[in-house]
Amino acid sequence: MDARPILFFDSGVGGLSIVGPTRAAMPNAPFVYAADSAGFPYGVKSAGEIAARVPALLGRLAERYRPRLIVIACNTASTIALPAVRAALDLPVVGTVPAIKPAAALSTTRVIGVLGTEATVAQRYVDDLSARFAGDCLVIRHGSAELVELAEQKLRGRRVEPERYAAVLDGLFGRPGGERIDVVVNACTHFPLVEAELAAAAPRPMRFIDGGEGIARRIAALCGDASRPERAPPGVAVFTRLGDGERELAPALAARGFPTIEAL
Ligand code: DGL
């Protein structure tokens, strides 16, 4: 029996959108949720800063929690640092990449919106995914640090004015061709946490998609059913800085199976 946890990593609460489908696929697996609150937000940092920070941090987390697998539940960190993390750690590492391929398969108008952080939407990696899987589509990208913050607020139980979601979406729909977008890729793990709010604020009905389900299937396949303990022990959430802002997340974390909060 393999009781080592699966460790999810993000700058903030975004990785919880990957925890959800993974929990559904592997209800008994032990989880650790790690948030680099001292480095939050990643989306406005340079690629160099993220590449320097993430592999070292994951090394420390791996030493402390001895996971059987690490999930970089953050598009920004994955698109920039995944190869370096894999090279540095002797563990399976699953990344998170923008769901452009399934979006292209769904779009009938052939106009796709990609909503991510500024850092993610500027990556060559996104150019490559668009060229490979959505070559016949117009791919309109928008980076929003604001939307990351709105998701953080929501999970702290704070009220967010609906107009703020509409203002973020205007960055996509207000662009040339934006009126024909029929599928939006949530290319930041924070964004599925506010998908209902985004759908309500959108100017017309449309699909929002993300990689959560596919990543959960990949994790379950890599771990294998036979290695699960009978019942999952309570999960641990660990922060690189633990202050009042992080403690405000306690109810949301407990509701998702992480009743214990600690500092790295
Ligand atoms: N959740 C992260 C992502 O998927 C980024 C949030 C941030 O800007 O720190 O890109």
**Closest by CA position to 4, among listed 23, 26, 32, 25:** 32
- Note the pTM of the prediction, 2 decimals: 0.96
Candidate of 148, 191, 241 to mutate for ligand 1, largest count of ligand atoms within 8 Å of Cβ: 148
pLDDT computed for residue 1 by the predictor: 56
The pLDDT value given to residue 225: 60
Per-residue pLDDT of the chain (264 residues; tens, 9 = 90+): 578 999 999 999 999 999 999 999 998 899 999 999 999 999 999 999 999 999 999 999 999 999 999 999 999 999 999 999 999 999 999 999 999 999 999 999 999 999 999 999 999 999 999 999 999 999 999 999 999 999 999 999 999 999 999 999 999 999 999 999 999 999 999 999 999 999 999 999 999 999 999 999 999 999 986 556 677 788 999 999 999 999 999 999 999 999 999 999
What is the Å distance from ligand 1's center to 78 Cα? 10
Tell me what pLDDT residue 229 has. Answer: 62
Whether 74 is catalytic is yes
* Alpha carbon nearest to ligand 1 atom 2, residue: 74
Give the bridge partners for 261, in sequence order. 237
Report how far residue 56's alpha carbon sits from residue 84's, in angstroms, rounded to the nearest whole number. 10
Q: Is residue 6 within 8 Å of residue 29, measured between CB atoms? A: yes
Both tokens of 108, joined, read 């009938």
Pairing outcome for strands 93-94 and 69-72: parallel
Would you call 217 helix, strand, or coil by DSSP? helix
3-state secondary structure of 43: coil
The active-site residue out of 61, 74, 198, 253 is 74
Q: Which residues line ligand 1 (CB under 6 A)?
A: 10-12, 14, 40-43, 74-76, 117, 120, 148, 188-190
Count CB-CB contacts under 10 A for residue 256: 19
The CA distance from 147 to 166, in Å, is: 10
From 7, 72, 151, 188, active-site residue? 188
Nearest to 234 by CA among 30, 65, 35: 30
